[in-house]
Homo-oligomer: A and B are copies of this chain.
Amino acid sequence: MGDVARIAGVSPSTVSLYLRRPDEVSEQRGQRIRAAVDRLGYLPNTMAGGLASSRSRIIGVLVPTISNSFFAATLDTLEKRLREAGYQLLIGNTEFDEAREEELVRSMMSWSPAGLVMTGFRHGRRTVSMLLDSDIPLVEMWDYGQPALDMVAGFSHYATGQLIARHLLERGYRDTAFISPRFSRDVRAGERYRGFREGIEQGRGRVTMRELSGATDTAEAGTLLSELMAERPSISAVFCANDMVALGVMFECQRRGWEIPERLAVAGFGNLEFTPNTVPPLTTVEPPKYEIGQQVAELLLARLGKSGEAEAHQVDLGVHLITREST
């Protein structure tokens, strides 16, 4: 920066000021500085800046796994919006593990990030206390309706389960099943199950639940469905924890020649890319995966703008039921 200042014939402070708030420097010097920067290919040292100002343009984001298409979609918009505002994402995989989450929070905090984004409400004790002690803006995303630490952008998985329950009951399905990846691997699926079961039971229906044991959703869903239907042939509808599972179920029906929805109605969750296009088109629930990213960015930016005002904002983005021919 010294070099830039020398070449532009101004003091380093002026260069620094120009780089941060160009409109507070006269047009004349601004031009000279700009020229010098270009000529030298000068890149400011972000760490030095961060140290001096004790704040950074970093947003730490923690997700259970990046390779889940829901979180990936959220990360995508989140990154876009925040980059536009000059922030960068430091991303960490918690792998559904509280210890790892704590470790990651610790290392994110050591960057004095401008904000932190985490997935869900369940965090370890020590993690929570670190979070509360710091005054770093925090958004918990993808869930809604439970006590939060600061801001929230998500939706209620419980309500989602109820929504599907109501839909199936309306269509006259009473004997139902729920097929899901292990709840330990997907807490949110567990919440959807709770909502679904309560909804169905309130309607005097019945739910049989099965958790997949493996990591891949589609493959095992088929065999699990066969077992389930052998055990209890009266089941007339199945709600799958996500569209991948539903796809597996539909393939199994196709193999067995079972008509959907006549023999078995199928509903999913996610409205993935292929979902509108299955045979028959799959009834599902569309989660606001992109909107969450968008909203998280907005909450963060709002808080970062007017510092001081520490109003906690929690927003429920809701879901849409998409009724198609599979139910």
Interface residue? A254 (CB, 8 A): yes
> Quick check: A277 and B219 within 8 Å, CB to CB?
yes
> Quick check: B43 and A47 within 8 Å, CB to CB?
no
A interface secondary structure, majority? helix
| Given A90-B90, A91-B91, A251-B278, A45 contacting B110 (CB threshold 8 A) | yes
| Given A47-B112, A75-B67, A107 contacting B93 (CB threshold 8 A) | no
Interface residue? A56 (CB, 8 A): yes
Interface residues of A (CB under 8 A from B): 41, 43-48, 50-51, 56, 58, 65-69, 72-73, 75-76, 79-80, 83, 88-93, 95, 104, 106-107, 109-112, 130, 133, 216-219, 222, 244, 247-248, 251, 254-255, 273-274, 276-279
Q: Which of B48, B88, B279 contacts A251 (CB 8 A)?
A: B279
| Given A67-B76, A76-B66, A46 contacting B273 (CB threshold 8 A) | no
How many of these chains are in the complex?
2
> Quick check: B254 and A277 within 8 Å, CB to CB?
no
Q: Which residues of B contact A251 (CB under 8 A)?
A: 274, 277-279
> Quick check: A273 and B216 within 8 Å, CB to CB?
yes
A66–B76 Cα distance when bound, in Å, is 6
| Given A45-B110, A79-B91, A110-B43, A248 contacting B222 (CB threshold 8 A) | no
| Given A45-B112, A244-B273, A69 contacting B66 (CB threshold 8 A) | no
A273–B95 Cα distance when bound, in Å, is 19
Q: Which residues of B contact A107 (CB under 8 A)?
A: 46, 88
Which residue of chain B lies nearest to A272 when distances are taken between CB atoms in the complex? B218
| Given A83-B92, A92-B79, A47 contacting B41 (CB threshold 8 A) | no
> Quick check: B279 and A219 within 8 Å, CB to CB?
no
Q: Which residues of B contact A75 (CB under 8 A)?
A: 66-67, 91
What 8 new A-B contacts, CB under 8 Å, besides A244-B273, A248-B274, A248-B277? A46-B110, A66-B66, A66-B75, A66-B76, A67-B72, A79-B91, A91-B91, A244-B274
Q: Which of B88, B133, B216 contacts A90 (CB 8 A)?
A: B88
A58–B218 Cα distance when bound, in Å, is 36
A44 to chain B, nearest CB (A): 6
A83–B108 Cα distance when bound, in Å, is 12
A72 to chain B, nearest CB (A): 4
Q: Which of B43, B65, B112 contacts A109 (CB 8 A)?
A: B43
A279–B129 Cα distance when bound, in Å, is 51
Q: Which residues of B contact A247 (CB under 8 A)?
A: 274, 277
> Quick check: A273 and B218 within 8 Å, CB to CB?
yes
A95 to chain B, nearest CB (A): 8
> Quick check: B93 and A91 within 8 Å, CB to CB?
no
Q: Which of B51, B104, B276 contacts A219 (CB 8 A)?
A: B276
Q: Which residues of B contact A47 (CB under 8 A)?
A: 47, 50-51, 56, 111-112
A217–B65 Cα distance when bound, in Å, is 24
Which residue of chain B lies nearest to A290 when distances are taken between CB atoms in the complex? B67
Q: Which residues of B contact A43 (CB under 8 A)?
A: 106, 109-110
A4–B85 Cα distance when bound, in Å, is 37
Q: Which residues of B contact A80 (CB under 8 A)?
A: 93, 95
